[in-house]
A and B are shown apart, each in its own frame.
Chain A
Amino acid sequence: MSPLLSVQNLKVYFRGDETVARAIDGVSYEVHAGETVCLVGESGCGKTVSALTILGLIPRPPGEIAGGKIFFKGRSILGLKEEEFQQIRGKRIAMVFQEPMTSLNPVFTVGDQIKEAIMVHEAIADRQAHSRCVGLLKDVGIPSPEERLRDYPHQLSGGQRQRVMIAMALACNPNIVIADEPTTALDVTIQKQILNLFKELQKARDMSLLYITHDLNVVREIADCIYVMYAGIIVEQGKMEDLFEHARHPYTMGLLASLPHRAKRGRILYSIPGTVPDPAYKPGGCPFHPRCEHAAGICKKEFPEMCDYGDGHLSRCPVLYERTNTVTF
């Protein structure tokens, strides 16, 4: 089955005065229909940029798509004109942003804004649009939707606002919803509610979800497939269980080790030493080698290739790949 959305070897650079920040440096991933795909990584590793590129929202200049392709339903969408892109945005691919506090326009009521999301793409009567808004708010679990529609964003709580944002994203029944850290700005109890909401909605509407997060606990809740990003590249990818049970890349291992867990109570949490490299000055070879405890001489020189562990589980660490193979054989 061909994937709904496929990103192939995408490269997005940001040109500064003297430097070129390689925000995304050859990233490929696929989202199949009805699937939840998680992009995981630290801040600044290119997760959000890759999502914005899918929607054609990278500001150009300074941004620049240096290479690669994006296919949506088998059609290349990178070279589309602005008007054609507007047909896809919101209607076929919708996005939920990180900050529900600032993602709603403060001068219009919630109802106006959801209605706009519908009316931009569909020519329907105002009353029909209104009843659809009520239905959407019900779907995202907002009590007494009729009254909330007349509220301004500042009258809602953070969780409610994020629900409204989700309702706006769902307004035109998109095939894919891209959720860019939708729970980061919310407190933990609300996070859980929003996650459950995403799961329910996805089941009910049979849509795909591209979920961008840095929170592995969230990933464990909802993911089918995981892509771990580091410094603009994908370092490991695979099914959720495979990655959590047998992480094959030192970076993924580090991330998992730094998760708090009941068994680790009382001990100091592991943290990966060092920081993410500046996208304008990435280390040569494997970008992770300065922070890696398994780093060998080859890591400084050669850019690592993807190593296949079978069943779609790939990892960009030849050193560990060799080691596992020598143990097995």
Chain B
Amino acid sequence: MTKFQPHSESSSEAPPAPRRTQGQEFWRLFKKNRLALAGLAIFLIFFIIAVAGLSVTSGTRPYFDPALVRLPEKLRPPLSRPNLEVLIPGEMPPLGMYVFGTDDLGRDVFSRMLQGAWVSLTVGFVAVGIAVFVGILLGGIAGYYGQTSITINHIFLFCLMLGGASAFAFGSLFPGVILLIAAIAFLYRSARSGKPAKPSLALAWLQKGATSVDTLIMRFVDIMLCFPSFFLILTVVALLPASIYNIMIVIGLTSWMGTTRFVRAEFLSLREQDFVTAAKALGVGDRRIIFRHMIPNAVAPVLVSATIGIAGAILTEAGLSFLGFGVPPPYATWGNILSDGKRFIFDAPWLTFIPGFAILIVVLSFNLFGEGLRDILNPKLRERY
């Protein structure tokens, strides 16, 4: 047998290939996808416009006042000069003309679009933020702890707590306190005894597994998917006071199911990976494995679905505003500019076309960017480039 030097790797090392960090490699691939690059560019421009729009349209004396009514100047076409004879100096449009025209109350559509951009941006991000948070949480639990069975014990405890909490909520304090104390006592008892080797026969049925965590969460996802979500949102929004925050939360809470499924699927496959076993063998705890080892590996598909989800949320918000269920009237959003303008579609088509195009372009840019991300983050699709 030939004798080998133990560390011959070092002596005969070839000149190293150019090393790229993951970020550089990612950017190199991303640049090749022109559409995704365009999407990213539009997204960045939109972001800047929205942030700038917030600062110039808010406050007591905004530079661009979206709520300023100039009745004599109603339905002026885009790029038209203001009629100086009917305006007092404070009513002058800031750029010396109506860039996007004026609506039926003579409000400057450009200012209203700026204000609406911020609404669209925040609705998109907050709603998707909520959806991703809930999705990662539930999907992570279903994927990692999925096989843990839920015993009749747990269901009993849950009912006690729910009963106690709802008794509190409806104002009957005494039964609420009793139920909650019972729940705590129950919890304490089961924590004390741990897992009894042989539970007494009378209580053995309590330890029986009713279902698994995975089944519980994923069937809940299926139930949520059964609702036509736009109509669910309409119902909820009709019940709740109209405010932009309610809209964000409601959109977020009806769009987390896709993320949950993604994350669960990722976790199921990651859990079996060697590096997870290796981390366990090093004495790394469950929580650290989930947050440090698994979530960073599962984040790619979530990022993609989130980007596309933002487009969906913007569209949903515009749809709600269009139907009159969205953000309350003095506040401009792209949806309600469109909705207000539809009455004048033949006389003043810019009132519908401008917000319509804005929605189209932003949604399209998010979708293109999201698909570009997906192509790069998924090695199987990467080969096309």
Contact = CB atoms under 8 A, between A and B. Distances in A.
Interface in A237-277: none
Contacts of A55: 280-281
B4 interface: yes
Interface string B259-280: 0000000000000011101111
A311 B296 CA distance: 53
A102 B7 contact: no
Contact of A89 (B273, B283, B296): B283
A268 to B, nearest CB: 22
A90 B284 CA distance: 8
Contacts of B6: 141, 193, 196-197, 200
B285 interface: yes
Interface stretch (A6-14, A152-160, A293-301): A152-160
Contacts of B296: 105, 107-108
Interface string A155-190: 101011000010011010000000000000000010
B280 A89 contact: yes
Interface string A47-60: 00000000101000
B58 interface: no
B277 A90 contact: no
Contacts of A103: 274-275, 277-278
A87 interface: yes
Given A90-B283, A141-B6, A97 B22 contact: no
Interface in A125-154: 141, 143, 151-152
B321 to A, nearest CB: 40
B282 A168 contact: yes
A102 B277 CA distance: 10
A169 B282 CA distance: 7
Given A57-B280, A89-B283, A116-B282, A143 B275 contact: no
Q: How large is the interface on A (under 10, 10 to 19, 20 to 34, 35 or more residues)?
A: 35 or more
Given A143-B10, A189-B4, A105 B285 contact: no
Nearest to B194: A81
Given A97-B277, A103-B274, A105-B275, A90 B19 contact: no
Contacts of B274: 97, 99, 102-103
A106 B282 CA distance: 17
A120 B297 contact: no
B283 A87 contact: yes
A22 interface: no
Interface string B289-324: 000110011000000000000000000000000000
Of B275, B278, B282, the most chain A CB neighbours within 10 A belong to: B282
B283 A141 contact: no
Nearest to A88: B283
A189 B293 CA distance: 32
Interface of B: 4, 6-10, 13, 19, 22, 147, 273-275, 277-285, 288, 292-293, 296-297
Given A57-B277, A94-B281, 14 more contacts: A57-B281, A88-B283, A89-B282, A90-B282, A106-B275, A116-B284, A120-B283, A120-B285, A141-B10, A160-B9, A169-B282, A171-B282, A193-B6, A196-B4
